[in-house]
């Protein structure tokens, strides 16, 4: 039996009202798209000055994640705090900012003629990106100092600010970035010493602070970075001695400390005839560069290690370094520029001239005692005549 309504118009209005309410209820029960927190959105907008001709605020007024500029990567996280009270179960956060130089064919936003930031510094708002995993701003001619606020990005894994003009000190607060895997501050104008607080970076695998104006020597705090695989500290005036920490860096593969103004000897914990627990560096290292310093004494590495790494063991430019007899006989030409150690005085005695005909002043034979005696006698005779 068909349903009939004596008040057709009234029934139509009731039906439309019921349909509207049902649609509203269904829509409200569906998960709402996550929105980027206002603080993070403002931090991203600060990057629009990469090219002032392109206004990010007008192009991406509501969303810089789903349809934002290349180089900004976002991700969703369940049960975000932003959803409390609003019914949302997920939250959107910026996880990567990649605006470093990659290649001329990179699809990153084209840079304008003006500096990357109005004051050529990294804005403090970067610290508002609490879920940020990767921040790459290399080769952007940035100035100013490294913002301490970056230490608030507790989940940061990669921080690359290399090849800029950043000055000042390395913030000790960076020691709180416990998830950090790569830290590249090379090619800047940083001064002071490496903060001891960096010993808290136990997950760090790559550290490059070369080509700065750092002082204070090689910090013992590096001993706390047991996951370190690549370490680069080159560039004067770092200075100081090489500390005995290498037995604790058992994962180290590459070590670069050329032209760092280092003095003293190479610690036995870097290799050589030492207890087995101190040979971890020899077991993993594939490249060691200690060239052009002021190091002296015996080279502590074993002959088997020298043969394994070959030319990637760079000790040239250290005229006071010398080899013992066994190492000199088995090292081949890789360390041919170093002389033999004298067992009594460790005065360097030269090797025979190399096949290349090269000549090094520290490889010349010391004058014989017979010759010195004649010189001494001549001086005495001259004085007697006078």
Whole-number Cα distances in Å, 133 to 50, 106, 136, 181, 197: 21, 21, 10, 10, 21
* Partner residues linked to 91 by β-bridges: 77
State how far the Cα of 158 lies from the Cα of 121, in Å rounded to an integer: 19
Query: Distance between CA atoms of 302 and 307, rounded to whole angstroms?
Result: 9
Q: For residues 69 and 114, give the distance between their C-alpha atoms in angstroms, rounded to a whole number.
A: 19
Q: pTM for this one?
A: 0.71
Quickly name the fold that domain 38-343 has.
3.80.10
Q: Please tell me the distance from the alpha carbon of residue 75 to that of residue 128, in angstroms, as a whole number.
A: 16
pLDDT of 287 reads 93
Domain boundaries, the chain: 38-343
Which pLDDT score, from 0 to 100, does residue 20 have?
55
pLDDT along the chain (386 residues), means of 10: 53 55 47 73 76 72 76 79 51 84 49 54 89 92 93 96 96 97 97 94 97 92 93 86 85 92 80 45 88 88 85 88 79 72 53 37 40 42 41
Comparing CA positions, the residue from 151, 161, 155, 244 lying closest to residue 198 is 151
Burial of 130 (0-12, 13-18, 19+ CB in 10 A): middle
């Amino acid at each position: 039996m068909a349903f009939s309504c004596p008040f057709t118009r009234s029934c139509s209005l009731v039906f439309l009202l019921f349909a509207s309410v049902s649609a509203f209820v269904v829509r409200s029960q569906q998960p709402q798209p996550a929105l980027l927190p206002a603080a993070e959105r403002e931090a991203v907008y600060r990057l629009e000055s990469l090219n002032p001709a392109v206004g990010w605020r007008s192009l991406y007024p509501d969303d810089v994640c789903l349809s934002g500029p290349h180089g900004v990567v976002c991700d969703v996280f369940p049960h975000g705090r932003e959803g409390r009270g609003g019914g949302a179960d997920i939250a959107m956060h910026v996880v990567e900012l990649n605006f470093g130089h990659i290649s001329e064919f990179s699809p990153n936003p084209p840079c304008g003629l003006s500096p990357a930031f109005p004051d050529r510094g990294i804005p403090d708002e970067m610290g508002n990106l609490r879920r940020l995993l990767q921040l790459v701003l290399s080769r952007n001619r940035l100035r100013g100092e490294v913002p301490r606020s970056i230490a608030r990005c507790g989940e940061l894994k990669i921080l690359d600010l290399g090849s800029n003009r950043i000055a000042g000190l390395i913030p000790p607060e960076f020691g709180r970035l416990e998830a950090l895997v790569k830290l590249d501050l090379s090619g800047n104008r940083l001064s002071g010493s490496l903060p001891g607080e960096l010993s808290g970076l136990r997950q760090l695998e790559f550290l490059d602070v070369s080509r700065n104006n750092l002082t204070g020597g090689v910090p013992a705090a590096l001993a706390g970075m047991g996951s370190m695989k690549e370490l680069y500290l080159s560039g004067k005036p770092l200075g100081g001695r090489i500390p005995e920490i290498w037995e604790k860096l058992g994962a180290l593969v590459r070590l670069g400390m050329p032209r760092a103004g280092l003095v003293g000897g190479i610690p036995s914990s870097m290799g050589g005839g030492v207890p087995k627990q101190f040979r971890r560096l020899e077991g993993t290292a594939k490249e060691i560069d200690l060239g052009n310093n002021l190091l002296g004494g015996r080279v502590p590495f074993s002959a088997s290690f020298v043969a394994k790494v070959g030319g990637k063991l760079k000790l040239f430019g250290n005229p006071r370094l010398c080899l013992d007899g066994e190492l000199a006989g088995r090292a081949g030409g890789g360390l041919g520029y170093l002389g033999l150690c004298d067992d009594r005085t460790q005065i360097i005695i030269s090797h025979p001239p190399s096949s290349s005909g090269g000549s090094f002043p520290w490889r010349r034979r010391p004058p014989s005692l017979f010759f010195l005696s004649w010189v001494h006698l001549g001086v005495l005779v001259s004085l007697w005549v006078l």
